[in-house]
């Protein structure tokens, strides 16, 4: 049976370390348990990123589940409906003004940034890192209290990222997050399918259809 989530979301982010063919292969395997796949491939050309989207679609992953990080041009060319911007990306307000129907997520690291991006028209924000994370060893985690401060102020969905594991995922949702973004917890697992199933079982309000 296919697993779908009510209300709360699981976002899985590519790690930029594996060949895109391998990413598509693994993404297809875990597709039924994932709400969105983020293509965060900072070193990948626009051409290769476009081909990756083509391969995802050919493998049966729905277009609505794909989020392109930073590369608004690639998203628009491939008719992807969602982008995730970071601090190096085009300003949120400029993207929303030019492409008002595009869902624009923005990565932030503070309540002040989150409030500013909501004013600029962001449709969602990603906040972190919440817990200790292998990719952020030199930086202190921002923690659950900071996450709750943001979710209380925002009227748009907040996606939490950073060090999220099956044993702490419920805490993130209890702080008001709409979704969790996972990278190493999936891709560094010896069994990505078992890993994502473990996350899915622990996400509040999950149901099987």
Annotated catalytic residues are: 129
Element (H, E) at 147: helix 143-153
CA atoms within 13 A on the CB side of 70: 14
- What's the Cα-to-Cα distance from 64 to each of 34, 76, 112, 192, rounded to whole Å? 12, 13, 30, 22
Nearest Cα residue to 149 out of 187, 185, 109: 109
DSSP string of 168-189, one letter each residue:
THHHHHHTT-SEEEESHHHHTS
Give the residues across from 67 on adjacent strands. 38, 82
Give the residues across from 110 on adjacent strands. none
- What's the Cα-to-Cα distance from 44 to each of 14, 52, 71, 79, 148, rounded to whole Å? 12, 10, 10, 19, 34
Rounded to whole angstroms, the Cα distance separating 64 from 61 reads 9
Phi-psi region of 60 (alpha: psi -120 to 50; beta: other; left: phi over 0): left
């Amino acid at each position: 049976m296919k697993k779908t989530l009510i209300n709360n979301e699981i976002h899985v982010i590519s790690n930029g370390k594996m060949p895109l063919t391998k990413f598509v292969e693994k993404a297809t395997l875990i597709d039924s348990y994932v709400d969105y796949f983020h293509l965060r491939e900072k070193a990948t050309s626009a051409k290769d990123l476009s081909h990756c989207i083509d391969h995802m679609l050919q493998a049966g992953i729905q277009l609505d589940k794909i989020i392109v990080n930073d590369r608004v041009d690639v998203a628009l060319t491939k008719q992807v409906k969602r982008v995730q911007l970071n601090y190096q990306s085009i300003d949120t307000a400029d993207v929303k003004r030019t492409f008002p129907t595009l869902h624009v997520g923005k990565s932030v690291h503070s309540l002040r940034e989150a409030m500013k991006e909501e004013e600029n028209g962001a449709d969602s924000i990603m906040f972190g890192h919440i817990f200790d994370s292998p990719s952020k060893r030199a930086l202190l985690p921002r923690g659950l209290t900071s996450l709750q401060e943001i979710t209380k102020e925002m009227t748009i969905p907040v996606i939490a990222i950073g060090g999220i594991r099956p044993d702490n995922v419920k805490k993130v949702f209890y702080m008001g997050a709409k979704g969790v973004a996972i990278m190493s917890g999936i891709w560094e697992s010896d069994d990505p399918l078992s890993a994502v199933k473990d996350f899915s079982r622990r996400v509040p309000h999950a149901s099987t259809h």
